[in-house]
Structure 1
């Protein structure tokens, strides 16, 4: 379990999209405006979540990793963004004015066009190591990275990154996309699918899913695990009428041996299986079953306990996003906005705390791990309005700085400072 948490905490070192080596491009010609993307990574279980409009935000749909980091999104007015991971050294760029939360999420909720977004994007430093493309239904697009903003020159723009192969930088994916877009004047679903097919990846790093967005019509064409013969079509306007919800992308596709085999061999498969069982049998019955299994003396316990910790964190993320109009759990990334704790009640939080209480009581090997769980339990209690209990748990989590992860100390001290005001 200690090795598991080390990997978990490494992900908190920066707020970047989970996608590793994507190929994304916009194309506006012939009166049509599309963006298309291959989303490449090593982690399956992609989520989709729909966010109806509120008095403060436009409606939207998001695609993201199982931990609910947003990889790509489009709002009801056809404003779209998508990330490609990059390797900028932020320490050398003197970025001193970051947005206090997720700037692209702010843009998605408040802007209809690239033109409307530019004042926000120019006001703040972009502090992610990724490069993001922003496109609208009028045919405009820009690339945003920590060094600045690049406007589209021509009728298409490619956002991609490069892989290291045998110690050399390989950029064939963006080259192929640029070549195919340059020599053709086509702009239709079949042509864009050909580009996605030519630039998809297989192996340890896979194209998990691909998308083509019709920004004018608000239609999204989705393909799972680089199978471009089977499509799931989303009419965003119709889907938003059904209300807020989170879905697993793979549930919209017929069984595929290749994808199932890839998923079942992934380290998160047990966690995902437990979450699925919760849907089918209820949270309480499922948790009681797995806690009873964990209490049995078995070499499997460490793997199960790691999965149960992941389940607890996932339930918090599901809950927070549902009650915050679809936005990411900024507290997890130590964002300033993340310390503005909204109070509400949710059974998912009760179940998460049940798991954390059990796991922290049985974690005797690593005090840092135990204090991390005290911290997260403290957050849950603050959200539910149990301020005294939450404060006590935070105080406990940081009482011995030598027995706390740096991220627990950072967040714990900030919360305690705010609670004293």
Structure 2
């Protein structure tokens, strides 16, 4: 029943922080203009954008990312930008002396205005993410950061991409094309940069889900959905931040497209996304009660419903955490040290998530590891809402039999119980 969910879950916990699979990212500063642009290539649609107004501790920013609410690309109100490209660095083989306990790039985005300011953090802490990230500012500076190495921009542009090396050569031409086009021209405008994105976009199993061109001086972002460079969504960051915190579906800002709709409807997360959207439109209680009733019918046509409901529960937790933590990812999910430093709060979305988890865990009697995982997340929900007695009970059940728990559940469960003594 849960084969579909477990594939996603096990892939996630085995790889740690997940970044876009294959991207082409570059900065360009010349002719008095400074831009950063990117194609975000991946296999999962349903991209989110979320606005994070300034707080007393953080600068305001916008984030782009997958439904897991992990920032893949972002820009703050002062024109500091970053964007990840996936890589396969083995962090265990690197001599990282002082890795940051949370999301280092997210901390930089909230506290720094320039690359120069960011370098203070990058010299103090080791970058410990198995990905390449381009960091750029409105002054025209940029660096590409990898574990153990920082490469500063030389000249007026810099490219960050993630093609593998085969026999000493890049396995694809995306970075070469971007470098060649930038080197062969003195142009630096939206039309020219859009042409580079078009020439380096991907189609097939791995698609360019969306593309961005960020005017770092003006704070304007030009967004294109699913490699359609004829239709643009323009974001004035400072104006949007004044409207307050919110999460939006990127596709909602574009007219209907058969290609994108067909791609989305054939994705394994489509049912979960449909239910989650229904919750937003009709309310949590009525929607959850309806789908629990459907699940209880045990109709063969609903074989994917329970996995989707579990994904919905997790999405509710991720949305709740994101809002109450100034747009940050759910560090606990990725077993980051900072993820255990939980400041309790109340949120109806957590209550709704627990309702789904209770129904699903009571029903699950075959896959005990999965049931104990649901107990673990119920423990997290109760701890977050200040119900420490219930939290302790759930965590104890989750790890009572080590042979019947995922390794990540054991790690997180033991850590949380040490804090519940």
TM-score range, shorter chain: over 0.9
Q: Deviations over 1:24-78 (max 9, x none)?
A: 0000001100000000000000000000000000000000011111100000000
Aligned-pair CA distance for 1:159: 0.4
Aligned-pair CA distance for 1:171: 3.0
* Residue in 2 that maps onto 1:44: 45
Do the aligned residues in 2 keep the contact of 1:14 with 1:128 (CA within 8 Å)? no
Q: Trace 1:306-345 onto structure 2 (pairs within 5 A).
A: 306-345=307-346
* Residue in 2 that maps onto 1:269: 270
* Residue in 1 that maps onto 2:11: 10
Do the aligned residues in 2 keep the contact of 1:86 with 1:161 (CA within 8 Å)? yes
Matched, 1:58 2:26: no
Q: Deviations over 1:209-248 (max 9, x none)?
A: 0000000000000000000000000000000000000000
Matched, 1:224 2:225: yes
Do the aligned residues in 1 keep the contact of 2:17 with 2:334 (CA within 8 Å)? no
Aligned-pair CA distance for 1:94: 2.3
* Residue in 2 that maps onto 1:260: 261
Give the Cα–Cα distance (whole angstroms) in 2 for the partners of residues 314 and 48 of structure 1: 15
Q: Trace 1:53-132 onto structure 2 (pairs within 5 A).
A: 53-132=54-133
Give the Cα–Cα distance (whole angstroms) in 2 for the partners of residues 186 and 237 of structure 1: 27
Aligned-pair CA distance for 1:168: 7.9
Give the Cα–Cα distance (whole angstroms) in 1 for the partners of residues 19 and 27 of structure 2: 21
Matched, 1:162 2:167: no
| 3-state DSSP of counterpart to 2:271 | helix
Do the aligned residues in 2 keep the contact of 1:83 with 1:132 (CA within 8 Å)? yes
User: Structure 1: which 5+ residue stretches go unaligned?
Assistant: none
More displaced 10-residue stretch of structure 1: 147-156 or 167-176: 167-176
More displaced 10-residue stretch of structure 1: 16-25 or 161-170: 161-170
Q: Trace 1:182-197 onto structure 2 (pairs within 5 A).
A: 182-197=183-198
| 3-state DSSP of counterpart to 1:82 | strand
Do the aligned residues in 2 keep the contact of 1:176 with 1:199 (CA within 8 Å)? yes
Do the aligned residues in 1 keep the contact of 2:222 with 2:233 (CA within 8 Å)? yes
| 3-state DSSP of counterpart to 1:22 | strand
* Residue in 1 that maps onto 2:202: 201
More displaced 10-residue stretch of structure 1: 294-303 or 250-259: 294-303
| 3-state DSSP of counterpart to 2:22 | coil
Q: Deviations over 1:160-181 (max 9, x none)?
A: 0115899985230000000000
* Residue in 2 that maps onto 1:355: 356
CA shift in 2, pair 1:166/1:255, >3 Å = farther
CA shift in 2, pair 1:181/1:264, >3 Å = same
CA shift in 2, pair 1:204/1:19, >3 Å = same
Do the aligned residues in 1 keep the contact of 2:96 with 2:148 (CA within 8 Å)? no
Aligned-pair CA distance for 1:279: 1.6
Give the Cα–Cα distance (whole angstroms) in 1 for the partners of residues 200 and 288 of structure 2: 42
Aligned-pair CA distance for 1:419: 1.4
Give the Cα–Cα distance (whole angstroms) in 1 for the partners of residues 189 and 51 of structure 2: 26
Q: Count residues with an aligned counterpart.
A: 420
Give the Cα–Cα distance (whole angstroms) in 2 for the partners of residues 189 and 6 of structure 1: 40
More displaced 10-residue stretch of structure 1: 123-132 or 403-412: 123-132
TM-score normalised by the chain length of structure 2: 0.97
Matched, 1:137 2:138: yes
Give the Cα–Cα distance (whole angstroms) in 2 for the partners of residues 164 and 303 of structure 1: 39
User: Structure 2: which 5+ residue stretches go unaligned?
Assistant: none
* Residue in 2 that maps onto 1:366: 367
| 3-state DSSP of counterpart to 2:304 | helix
Runs of 4+ in 1 over 3 A off after TM superposition: 14-17, 163-169
Do the aligned residues in 1 keep the contact of 2:20 with 2:84 (CA within 8 Å)? yes
* Residue in 2 that maps onto 1:248: 249
* Residue in 2 that maps onto 1:381: 382
| 3-state DSSP of counterpart to 1:162 | coil
Q: Deviations over 1:86-138 (max 9, x none)?
A: 12122221224210000000000000000001011111121111000000000
What value does the CA root-mean-square deviation take over the aligned residues?
A: 1.5
Aligned-pair CA distance for 1:301: 4.0
Give the Cα–Cα distance (whole angstroms) in 1 for the partners of residues 30 and 17 of structure 2: 31
Aligned-pair CA distance for 1:355: 0.2
